[in-house]
Amino acid sequence: MRSSRPDETAPTHSRTGFDISFDIGFDVGGTFTDFVLQNRATRRVHSFKLPSTPHDPSLAIEEGLSRLLALHGADAAGVVRLGHGTTVATNLIIERKGARTGLLTTRGFRDALEIGRQTRPHLYDHRVTRPPPLVPRADRIEVAERVGADGTVIVPLDEAGVEKAARRFAAAGVEAVAVCFLHSYRFPSHERRARAILERALPGVYVSLSSDVLPEFREYERLSTTVLNAAVGPRMGGYLDRFLASARRLGIAAEPQTVHSNGGLMSPAAVRERPVRTCLSGPAAGVIGSAEIGRLAGFPDLVTFDVGGTSTDVSLIDGGRPLFTSERLVAGYPVKTPMVDIHVIGAGGGSIARIDAAGALKVGPDSAGAAPGPAAYGRGGTEPTITDANICLGRLDPAALLGGRLAVDAEAARAAIRRVAEPLGLTLEAAAHGILRIANAAMGRAIRSISTERGHDARRFALFAYGGAGPLHAAELAADCGIRTVLVPPEPGTLCARGILLSNIGMDFVRSAMERIDADSWPTLGALFAELREEASGWLAREGIAPADRAFHRSIEARYEGQNFEIPVPADDLDSLGPEGFAERFRAVHRRTHGYDVAGRAVEAVNLRLQAVGRVEKSALSPPPSGTAVPTPRARRPVYAGPSAGWVDTPVYDRASLPAGLSLAGPCVVEEMSATTLVLPGQSLRVDPLGILVIAVPAAA
């Protein structure tokens, strides 16, 4: 069983003969796979990137791990912590390449998966269609059973019917079965008996129970989430098998941990049981890492801004705590599971620019991805992308990226941009800058959707820029959004991988209560939380977390009686709070969330939620040496700074040469292996004691 204190693991011997151990975090993205290695003896952190292999992500993982270890002379046997983020589950859902799945449900509910909620967010847009159900009607089978909301068995489980359904599933060749019975979120006995029958009749078939995946009421969301879990389960299991085999071939014995959507880590066994929880794996790690670095730097209020090759992810950190949500759509399918509240748009370095039918310039959401990639990468891409636009404007090195390992074809980038410039009658720089302005406008809307539209003043937050392209767009975007400070951490292009090494083991546990908050129900809620804590303690024990390293956080999702939807209310002090104290706290949260409360109306507890945390050793930042002397620029090149400033002769600095305490006036460009930071004229940059670049953005006139 894995130790919860990695520093207690027996030391290993490096090739130099010293006792050295290493932590590795890596994140599999749509365009690049990012790696971070930390030497525990020296606390030095090394970053590495290489193109992803979408057809089999484990290939890029194995190549990257091998090259990373060789590059830094690290012995694979010395790796004591291996954490990873993955987009496998998300991509399987988006591309609808999950396993063939069958559904076993209560008689009368066969079509609930297809009927859904009947919501129409785009009522008048005929081009918007709902995705097809992941289980075709022929593979949705009803069985006689019924348990009432109070636990009364109205219709016993028809076990012969379950056996008959298993034979039909076998004949259809299903690889996974989702089981979702009415009211099983509170009374799971029928689902568990059905699983026993299915596993006996269908050896090797993946079986997913709604009472395990999501023991909450609202049958459609529970049904959708369970079906998604079943659909991605077999493929995720195969990916994990290949990944684990790759690690073993390299000599890495540490059991890998996977970050899941709430920013916590879990073991391969936990991922196999609940793969749907990894839908926001890598982006969640980036937000958790941002919160930790922001806390250390003295910036507890952040807008995280992660621009990769395919998408832009933004999130809000208020008072040092990321915001969470319990429901979102993935490729149009509802997923209800605790996750970091991240807003994703299709705007990244590989986003393609095009002229639409009306003659207007559009950017994204389609992307050139890792293959063929932007035209400048020389892998066969010809479509103009955001990366090509940045190269044409001198903002990206027109010769090479990734520390010189990725050659850049600047002429190919210019040829691609001309494909939109000439039809529109624009100069090359006007078209390239127009592409960036359109992309920035979409990014700005995303930032406002998580800040201003939710009652937060964006000017109160710093913009925390990371991802391969985040620091390139941050200075211009901050000015557009009225944000006065931009933070760029060291090696921002690999922060999601770094964030994995800043994450704890964690999982959320939930029970639906449906109880009015009063003196009579309060002991019942306490007893349910005790059951959750016992379940969570067992899970942490299986994850190898010692009792001294465990923490638990309670919350109650509550609503006024008569309301349809609930809001989360912190309840760590449940024992001393009492029902009246909780009701008053709920009203305060309700006022803050909705702008009003309802005096005198009873409050109802809907879901009880317990977050289990297993504390692990975190990797620390390695601050640079101090100094105030301005280093010699590594180069100078003309950079297009917008229509008003035009082309500006700009110094280019190697980030490794910038000491803590240094201040620079814009314009300037700071380059490192994983990203490029742009500072515009009128802005200034300083390097804080942790090596974070702090860019001051003047207020708009």
Domains and CATH numbers, the chain: 6-92+240-258 (3.30.420.40), 93-237 (3.40.50), 281-348+446-500 (3.30.420.40), 351-438 (no CATH), 505-614 (3.30.1490), 636-696 (no CATH)
d(CA 149, CA 482) in angstroms, rounded, equals 51
Give 452's pLDDT tier (boundaries 50, 70, 90).
Answer: confident
d(CA 624, CA 612) in angstroms, rounded, equals 35
Report the pLDDT value the prediction gives residue 619, as an integer from 0 to 100.
67
Between 550 and 5, the more confident residue is 550
Give 620's pLDDT tier (boundaries 50, 70, 90).
Answer: low
DSSP one-letter string for 632-679: PPSEEEEEE--TTT-EEEEEEEEGGG--BT-EEESSEEEE-SS-EEEE
Q: Do residues 675 and 498 lie in contact, with contact meaning Cβ atoms separated by under 8 Å?
A: no
pLDDT at 4 over 50: no
User: In this predicted model, what pLDDT tens digit does every residue of 301-317 receive, in sequence order?
Assistant: 999 999 988 888 999 99
DSSP one-letter string for 499-529: HHTTPPEEEEEEEEEEEE-STTTHHHHHHHH
Pairing of strands 485-488, 693-696: antiparallel
Task: Map residue 494 onto helix, strand or coil.
Answer: helix
pLDDT at 2 over 60: no
Q: Could you tell me which residues come within 8 angstroms of residue 160 by beta carbon, excluding any fewer than 6 positions away?
A: none
Mean pLDDT of 611-629: 83
Mean pLDDT of the chain: 89
| Sheet of strand 676-679: strand arrangement | 635-640, 647-654, 668-671, 676-679
Report the pLDDT value the prediction gives residue 532, as an integer from 0 to 100.
94
Q: How many CB atoms lie within 10 A of CB 1?
A: 9
Pairing of strands 485-488, 462-466: parallel
Q: Which region among 121-125, 161-165, 266-270, 474-478 has the lowest average model confidence (pLDDT)?
A: 121-125
Report the pLDDT value the prediction gives residue 11, as an integer from 0 to 100.
36
pLDDT at 199 over 70: yes
How many CA within 13 A on the CB side of residue 685?
A: 28
User: In this predicted model, what pLDDT tens digit does every residue of 323-371 receive, in sequence order?
Assistant: 888 888 887 888 988 888 888 888 888 889 999 888 889 998 888 876 7
Q: What length is written for the chain?
A: 701
d(CA 6, CA 451) in angstroms, rounded, equals 38
Q: Do residues 407 and 373 lie in contact, with contact meaning Cβ atoms separated by under 8 Å?
A: no
pLDDT at 17 over 50: no
Report the pLDDT value the prediction gives residue 293, as an integer from 0 to 100.
93
Nearest CA among 351, 369, 370, 372 for reference residue 361: 351
pLDDT at 550 over 90: yes
Give 86's pLDDT tier (boundaries 50, 70, 90).
Answer: confident
pTM here?
A: 0.85
pLDDT at 668 over 80: yes
State what percent of residues in the chain have pLDDT above 90: 58
Mean pLDDT of 47-53: 87
Nearest CA among 331, 583, 314, 597 for reference residue 454: 314
One-letter amino acid for residue 472 of the chain: L
The encoded tokens of residue 483 equal 């944000």
Report the pLDDT value the prediction gives residue 700, as an integer from 0 to 100.
67
Mean pLDDT of 606-613: 93
Mean pLDDT of 462-470: 94
Report helix, strand and coil shares of the chain as percent, to nearest 5: 35, 25, 35
pLDDT at 54 over 90: no
